[in-house]
Amino acid sequence: MKKYLKKLLCTVFAISILLVSTIHVNAATPYKVISEKTKVGNYYIWINNEKGIYVSKSEKSSPKIIVKAPKSSDTYITHRLVTDGSKIYYAVEKRANDICSAYMKIYRIDVSGKNNVYVGKINHGESLSGYYNGNLFVETDSYYSGGYNPNQADTYIYNLSSKKLSLVKREFKIDYQNGKYILGSPYIGDVSPFPIHVYNASTKKTYQITSKGCQAKFLNGKIYYAYGDGYAWKTSDRKISIKTSSYTGKNQKTLCTIKMENCGGIVDIKSSYVEYFKHNKDMSKTNYYKYYYSSGKVVEVKK
């Protein structure tokens, strides 16, 4: 029972870190994917699921609601917007039941609140997740073997001109976008290692970076990722390696390997170091560290 409790605590702790993540879009990309209050162009834009979509001219000025949240309990504005600071793409989802989407309607509105235009409808759509060259990336409920998989999402491209919907990859969600390159994984709400892929929106080709990843991001023209056994409870000989590769999965290089006693995991990966955490044996304390690749030096981080 005690061992089970430790495993549960470890899993909850790891998920609490991962759930705060969002889709990160390189600054060179004019459109950003946002949910929390973010400055895009000359405005601060964000969503409140109970109230609607807010816009303000400064961080402290009074906000304006440009789209009110639906009053129906089974219809709501999805948790992400796509905007360039001038126009905002947002979606309203209709639930089929407690866990499944019936459809999602996409709209475009000016940041002023004018010209609210219907764009299109996506069956089983759940969220907007990116933009590239006149196309929106959208996530839908994942269906396999005739059934619904509550732990996964499929990603599609929706062309704003032709209204055509094209599959990017099943059981794949977007974590990072760098221009035409999309970095993603099948992971939603799980702490197991998972495959990580890069999708090239220009060539429409997908490349596997690893079959056993924990976290990944774009850095310095490369993919930096954690390779290993994820965040779940493991034995004291569990190890996680920080590696790099090209956007197509080539030129793999290991930067460091960290021994994860008890329960631990990766907090963030940087170009010069990785930050990670470890619990003590009885799960009563969590310590944070930075490992510097070039020197091999480990420094404890006070939190």
Same domain, 83 and 145: yes
Other Cβ atoms closer than 10 A to 32? 23
In this prediction, residue 27 carries a pLDDT of 52
Same domain, 56 and 181: yes
Same domain, 125 and 154: yes
Tell whether the model's pLDDT for residue 219 goes beyond 90.
yes
Same domain, 46 and 119: yes
The b/e string for 160-181 (b: 16+ C-beta within 10 A; e otherwise) is beeeebeebbbbbbbbbbbeeb
What Rg, from alpha-carbon coordinates, does the chain have?
20
Same domain, 43 and 15: no
pLDDT 10s digits, 158-204: 999 999 999 999 889 899 999 999 999 986 555 568 899 999 999 99
CA atoms within 13 A on the CB side of 239: 9
Same domain, 51 and 146: yes
Same domain, 35 and 181: yes
Tell whether the model's pLDDT for residue 145 goes beyond 50.
no
Q: Structurally, how many domains does the chain consist of? A: 2
Tell whether the model's pLDDT for residue 264 goes beyond 50.
yes
256 in any annotated domain: yes
Range of the domain at 140: 26-188
Tell whether the model's pLDDT for residue 26 goes beyond 80.
no
CATH number assigned to the domain comprising residue 55: 2.130.10.120
Which comes out higher in pLDDT, residue 95 or 53?
A: 53
- Average pLDDT of the chain to the nearest whole number: 85
In this prediction, residue 184 carries a pLDDT of 93
Same domain, 5 and 147: no
CA atoms within 13 A on the CB side of 230: 21
197 in any annotated domain: no
CA atoms within 13 A on the CB side of 256: 21
Same domain, 302 and 226: yes
193 in any annotated domain: no
Tell whether the model's pLDDT for residue 234 goes beyond 70.
no
Q: Are 300 and 287 in contact (CB under 8 A)?
A: yes
Same domain, 68 and 153: yes
pLDDT 10s digits, 69-112: 998 888 999 999 999 999 999 999 998 877 778 899 999 999 99
196 in any annotated domain: no
**Strand, coil or helix: 5:** helix
68 in any annotated domain: yes
**Strand, coil or helix: 109:** strand
Structure tokens at 92: 């309203």
Tell whether the model's pLDDT for residue 230 goes beyond 70.
no
Same domain, 184 and 261: no
Tell whether the model's pLDDT for residue 45 goes beyond 50.
yes
222 in any annotated domain: yes
Domain-terminating residue out of 141, 156, 188? 188
Q: How confident is the model at residue 147 (pLDDT cuts 50, 70, 90)?
A: low
Structure tokens at 38: 């973010």
Same domain, 82 and 155: yes
pLDDT 10s digits, 271-301: 999 999 988 877 788 999 999 999 999 999 9
Predicted model pTM? 0.82
Place of tokens 């079959």: 211
In this prediction, residue 298 carries a pLDDT of 96
Instruction: Please state the rounded mean pLDDT for residues 24-28.
Output: 56
In this prediction, residue 189 carries a pLDDT of 55
| C-alpha to C-alpha distances, 196 to 37, 178, 187, 227, 301, nearest whole angstrom | 29, 15, 9, 10, 28
34 in any annotated domain: yes
